[in-house]
Amino acid sequence: LWDGHAQRAGEIKVGDIVKFTEAYSSLGLFGFPEIHLGRRGDLRINPPGEELPRVEEKEVSALLPRAKIGEIEGGRARVEIRGTVTRIFHRRPLFDVCPNCGTSLGTVDTSLLCEQCGKVVSPEHRAVLSFLLDDGTGSVRVVLFGMVAERLFGMSANQILRKLKETPDLAEFYGGFGFLGKEFIIAGVVRQDKYSNQLELRGYEIKIPDAKGEVKHLLESIKERTTKVEEERV
């Protein structure tokens, strides 16, 4: 959900019917389909007259398997990684998309022709941030898009644009955020880039390590190990 729709996310409960109009779909970087609702779209929660067959409610575990970077093998996996930022890639922190179909329009701030829609559109800005995360066993290139990136910047895409205009030098721009050396826990999908052989993590959620959460993780992993040992004994 983008723009004003994002603020309504808290109104949606498990079991609600949601109806999107003028939404667009795109193939996410890791091959999962995504549905986006932008400025022009409409979101209705439990619209009258709409019925859907009952579905099974799934408990989504908040705890993803914590992975050690050095132990990740090829293929795709949903993981959580804890590490330290060792390098920021000084790419432009914004790219533009067509507000109608979501097609990426590149990185120019003026009105552009969307080839998909066949007309000139006024682009929407999306934030992007990428850096190298190291956990002592290896390093992974992290890429954050949209609201996940905005959360880490602590700014909306439009605020990022204003700051970028004040500080066009990218080294100076990124320096102002102090990301280097910070420790984060990032949940997302990891995969190995075929060409560069570099591991890449597309982050969906970012947490700053806290003692309570870490203890919970530790207990979970001990429990898991104990169960495994018991299974082996049988």
User: What residues make contact with Zn ion under the rule CB under 5 A?
Assistant: 98, 100-101, 103, 114, 116-117
Residue number with CB closer to Zn ion (98 or 199): 98
Q: Shortest approach of Zn ion to residue 21 CB, angstroms? A: 17
Cβ 22 to Zn ion, closest distance in Å? Answer: 12
Nearer to Zn ion, 103 or 107 (CB): 103
Measured from the CB atom, the residue of 84 and 103 that comes closer to Zn ion is 103
CB of 146 to Zn ion, least distance (A): 17
Please say which residue, 26 or 103, places its beta carbon nearer to Zn ion: 103
Distance (Å, whole) CA 230 – CA 14: 36
At its nearest, how many Å lie between Zn ion and the CB of residue 15?
A: 34
Nearer to Zn ion by C-beta: 100 or 139?
Answer: 100
Torsion, CA 84, CA 214, CA 200, CA 90, rounded to 10 = -30
Q: How near is the Cβ of 35 to Zn ion at its closest, in Å?
A: 16
Vertex 202, ends 149 and 45: CA angle to 5°?
70
